Amino acid sequence: MWVAPHSFSKVGESRSASNGMNLNKAFILGRVTADPQLRTTPSGQQVTSFAIATNRTWTDKAGARQEQAEFHNVVVWGRQAEVATQFLVKGSLVLVEGRLQSRTWQNKEGQNVKTTEIITERLQLGPRPMGVSGARGAYVGDKSQVQNETQSAPELPTIDIDEGMPVKDEDLPF
């Protein structure tokens, strides 16, 4: 257990009662499990929610490699929600910084359900997944389109080096 240093406490105040020693911060780096869908609240605010999968690997006592996936619910508001909806697709790598927030709601059967979500404060997009060439609207889902793009790509030049010829320092481009 971490205890605040005495210098943070006010005179006559116990350490456990000092204000400002709370932290609610979450950082996750993982892959989006489904395409985010943009919604608008009745008050006009834009919001999107999606799940991010993170993996944890470890070696157990027997020396076998173990892997476990964890799924995190993420909520994004405002302009960031627009960006997330435009650029994130299933499989996208994303870094989310935010705070944990729990809420209770009723499902269709009328039972109370409690859920914990990460309310996004900052969103950082990772590299585009294979088959995505730009914004979400340009998502390439058809394999024939991917093949056509691959075929039209310029061929990389090959350099033939005669094994009998020595390479001189002045021939190197660096």
Higher local confidence (pLDDT), 140 or 167: 167
What are the pLDDT digits (tens) for 78-104?
999 999 999 999 999 999 999 999 999
Residue 50: inside a domain, yes or no? yes
- The CB density around residue 76, as the number of other CB atoms within 10 Å, is 26
pTM value is 0.63
What pairing do the DSSP bridges indicate for beta strands 112-125 and 93-106?
Answer: antiparallel
Residue 147: inside a domain, yes or no? yes
What is the spatial distance between Cα 104 and Cα 127, in angstroms, rounded to a whole number? 35
Domain that holds residue 137: 22-152
Q: Residues 33-56: what's their mean pLDDT?
A: 95
Residue 60: inside a domain, yes or no? yes
Residue 3: inside a domain, yes or no? no
Helical segments of the chain, H only: 78-87, 143-152
What is the spatial distance between Cα 45 and Cα 151, in angstroms, rounded to a whole number? 44
At 21 the pLDDT is 83
Chain CA centroid to CA 47, Å: 17
> Any idea what the CATH number is for the domain that residue 96 is in?
2.40.50.140
At 144 the pLDDT is 42
Residue 159: inside a domain, yes or no? no
DSSP output for 61-98:
TTS-EEEEEEEEEEEEEHHHHHHHHHH--TT-EEEEEE
- Residue 70 confidence class, pLDDT cut points 50, 70, 90: very high
> 86 near 74, Cβ under 8 Å?
no
Domains of the chain: total: 1
Residue 65: inside a domain, yes or no? yes
Residue 170: inside a domain, yes or no? no
Residue 13: inside a domain, yes or no? no
